[in-house]
Amino acid sequence: MIADLAADQGVWGPGPGDGAAVGAAWEALRTVMDPEIPVLSVVDLGMIRGVEAGEGGRLRVRLSPTYSGCPATGIIALEVARALDAAGFPNAEVVTEVAPPWTTDWISPAGLDRLRESGIAPPPRGAGKRALVAPEERIACPRCGSTDTEVISAFGSTACKALHRCRSCLEPFDSFKCI
Amino acid sequence: MTDNALFDYLLRLGDTSLVLGHRLSEWCGHAPELEEDVALTNIALDLVGHARLLLSYAGEVEGQGRDEDALAFLRDVYDYRNHLLVEQPNRDFGHTIARQFLHDAWALELYEKLMVSADHRLAGIAAKAVKEKRYHLRHSGEWVVRLGDGTEDSRARMADAFDRLWRFTAEMFEADAVEQALAAAGVAPDPASLRPAWEARVDAVLAEATLPARPAIIGTSGGRIGRHGEHLGYLLAEMQFLQRAYPGATW
């Protein structure tokens, strides 16, 4: 059951039945950037699983943590609450949801482009089906596009990144770990 | 099944992750190369992250108002329920890798089975952890091969590390009333059922590493019921110092 849910989409905005308030909340959430990868918002990362208006207009935001070891999870929840407060939604409830588990498949297409533009190779799609113990496919260099690359270390400067090197342009680069 | 059994089981899993995470964090600034310094501390963060999820849930199941911090920082050695394997001191890098590999091979198998637990909260935690355990096992397994099939020195050190650690592995597959109750309720797998896959995985990596084969294991156990070796006390003394000396300190 969980595996099926993980194949779900990244929910990048309000649904058709959502009111203006929920739409405004989504806009506010688009300004909350990941402190470790500031080109990505929490919406683009697929961390926002839902925004609902509850009783008395109190907003409820469901947040999915990314990597278990990410030290930024706490500050992100705080920033989400602060952005909603500034957008006129004081006392918004921010709920953390562990299941279904966050996957790199939930990152938006725009987010993938921005990762590449900032020199970080985006994660390949299909994380849910990928057998991570099998040899990984070659990651394309975000600078020159060559797939003649090698892994330097599976663990990089943050919990979400691995370190690679391009054998064509000889530059080292980060890649977003696929989970 | 009683809540008591679930509480005990969650402590066993959570404490095992927390203690191993702390052991790995001791490498910060000391690993043999920069990439490994980063890797070991990354894995430490994942393990502490898993411990937080498990201990938070344990506190809720217990219903006595203890949160993850109270359980991590305000319990003494005899209340810790981790496997003896993970409290063993780091020694050299090869020893740390051998310990990690023996644990990862077990934990990946366990979390894969827990994903279909009748307890949905535990199944959710397992589904999250399992992806990270795959990364961890690949990392520790590759190092076992590299060091075992490496230089004369690295090979001797790896063989010595496994010799020291085998005795602590039997405990991972033991069951008492806690695991039996949860297995009967479909909440957790029978620990013995994890053994064939663990043995196959360990044996395959040892063979590729050209290391001596796994011996018949005569087990030492007790960690799951609070009987620990001398090393855990020192670990907790360091890990818990701040909250013990300055109760309730935040920053």
pTM for this model (two decimals): 0.92
Residues of chain A above pLDDT 70, percent = 90
CATH 3.30.300.130 fits A2-105, yes or no: yes
Residues 26-55 on B with a CB inside 8 Å of A are 35, 38-39, 42-50, 53
pLDDT in tens, A82-96: 999 999 999 899 999
Q: How are beta strands A149-153 and A161-166 bridged, if at all?
A: antiparallel
What residue ranges do the domains of chain A occupy?
2-105, 109-176
| Mean pLDDT for the stretch of residues B89-112 | 98
Say whether the peptide bond before residue A100 is cis (omega within 30 degrees of 0).
yes
| Mean pLDDT for the stretch of residues B97-104 | 98
Contacts of A105 in chain B (CB under 8 A): none
Distance CA B101, CA B107 (A): 10
Looking at residue A4, its pLDDT comes to 42
Looking at residue A130, its pLDDT comes to 55
pLDDT in tens, A121-174: 999 887 765 544 445 667 899 999 999 999 888 888 888 889 999 999 999 999
Mean pLDDT of chain B: 96
Quick check: B190 pLDDT over 70? yes
H/E segment holding residue A52: strand A48-53
pLDDT in tens, B18-73: 999 999 999 999 999 999 999 999 999 999 999 999 999 999 999 999 999 999 99
ipTM: 0.86
Looking at residue A30, its pLDDT comes to 97
Using alpha carbons, select from A97, A102, A103, A79 the residue that is nearest to residue A29: A79
Q: Which domains does chain B have, with CATH numbers?
A: 3-245 (1.20.1260.10)
Quick check: A66 pLDDT over 70? yes
Looking at residue B61, its pLDDT comes to 97
Distance CA B47, CA B27 (A): 14
Looking at residue A133, its pLDDT comes to 42
Contact B49 A100 (CB under 8 A): no
Looking at residue A7, its pLDDT comes to 45
Least confident of A6-15, B48-57, B154-163: A6-15
Contact B50 A68 (CB under 8 A): yes
Q: Is A106 on the interface with B (CB under 8 A)?
A: no
Judged by DSSP in three states, A117 sits in: helix
Nearest residue on chain B to A100, alpha-carbon basis = B124
Burial class (CB in 10 A: 0-12, 13-18, 19+), A21: middle
Quick check: A1 pLDDT over 50? no
Distance (Å) from the C-alpha of residue B45 to the closest C-alpha of chain A?
A: 4
DSSP 8-state class, residue A120 = E
Q: Indicate the pLDDT class of residue A177, thresholds 50, 70 and 90.
A: confident
Mean pLDDT of chain A: 87
Looking at residue B251, its pLDDT comes to 76
Q: Indicate the pLDDT class of residue A3, thresholds 50, 70 and 90.
A: very low
Contacts of A6 in chain B (CB under 8 A): 127
The runs of H, that is alpha helices, within chain B are 3-25, 34-62, 68-73, 84-87, 93-114, 120-148, 152-165, 177-184, 195-208, 231-245
